[in-house]
Amino acid sequence: MIFMKTKSLILFFCLIITSLIVYGIELPTESAVPGGIVIISINSEQKPEAYFNGHQVMIVGANKEWKAIIGIPLSEKVGTHELTVRENKFETNYKFEIKNKEYKTQRLTIKNKRKVNPNEQDMARILSEKEKISKAKSHWRNKDDITLRFIKPTIGPYSSPFGLRRFFNNQARKPHSGLDIAAPKGTPIVAPADGVVIDTGNYFFNGKTVFLDHGQGLITMYCHMNQIDIKEGAQVKTGDILGVVGLTGRVTGAHLHWSVILNNTTVDPLLFLSKNDL
């Protein structure tokens, strides 16, 4: 009896490990909530295409064992949703459930009032920058060998988690779309995984920023940098230096704002980190 229980436990843990690793690709942590990730198994002879909310979704795997890795928007409603999968002109809908998650509230005081209530000239700049930022976030590059477990991009404690409901000078603003890592000005920022630099710039809110493309709609963004040490088009490896931490843009102190974008949706970066970095 003890032997049978032990054997069952071993099989159980083997199934968990198998579900987390698909043909050498270690999957991110699944969290079926707004701002989280849903992973759906797809039985298909060939690699299919999948879409959620009109955006193409990452597909990894091989030989009938495919996984759709879906980013869920913070604004997504709780309940039943559908992933549309297309293969050889056939279309199949996979249903999945999104559960509720309550995110905490954060109130910040910004000394530069224009960073909270921009003037007319500022708004013209913001609208111009928004188009460029949106283009980077929606970038798609076909790639099969994708790293879905990241290293931490800089050294320091997590100061503001993903998803916070934010108030700047007592005025409600959009939820926190990234993870803040507190670090002194000049602390190196490194690539958490292999990627290609698809955009760099100095933006009104984000300050000096770098966008990395990791493939199939997986984009990472690094904001408020003091300096950028990489050029657009550069191919980087895990651990390569992108620049250093700073205080540019809308900030209350030196830190790195790190966003992870999946199918044009910002998701919790902690879901991509190994347990050692949590």
The verdict on 65 and 171 lying in the same domain is: no
Helix (H, G, I), strand (E, B) or coil at 275: helix
Give the CA angle between residues 82, 83, 89 to the nearest 5°: 125
Helix (H) or strand (E) holding 50: strand 49-52
Could you tell me the pLDDT band of residue 173, with boundaries at 50, 70 and 90? low
pTM of the model: 0.87
> What CATH number does residue 135 fall under?
2.70.70.10
Question: Residue 116 pLDDT > 80, yes or no?
Answer: no
The verdict on 92 and 109 lying in the same domain is: no
Helix (H, G, I), strand (E, B) or coil at 27: coil
Distance between CA atoms of residues 168 and 155, nearest Å: 26
How far separated are the first and last CA of the chain, in Å rounded? 38
Distance of CA 148 to the CA centre of its chain: 10
Distance between CA atoms of residues 39 and 16, nearest Å: 13
Could you tell me the pLDDT band of residue 118, with boundaries at 50, 70 and 90? confident
Residue 114: which residues within 8 A CB-CB, separation 6 or more?
122
Range of the domain at 66: 2-98
Could you tell me the pLDDT band of residue 277, with boundaries at 50, 70 and 90? confident
Q: Tell which of 57, 74, 98 closes a domain.
A: 98
Q: Tell which of 98, 133, 161 closes a domain.
A: 98
The verdict on 30 and 115 lying in the same domain is: no
For 83, 84, 96, 99, 100, the CA distances from 79, given in Å and listed in that order, are: 13, 17, 8, 7, 9
Distance between CA atoms of residues 22 and 125, nearest Å: 44
68, 12, 26, 14: which is closest to 43 by C-alpha?
68
The verdict on 87 and 114 lying in the same domain is: no
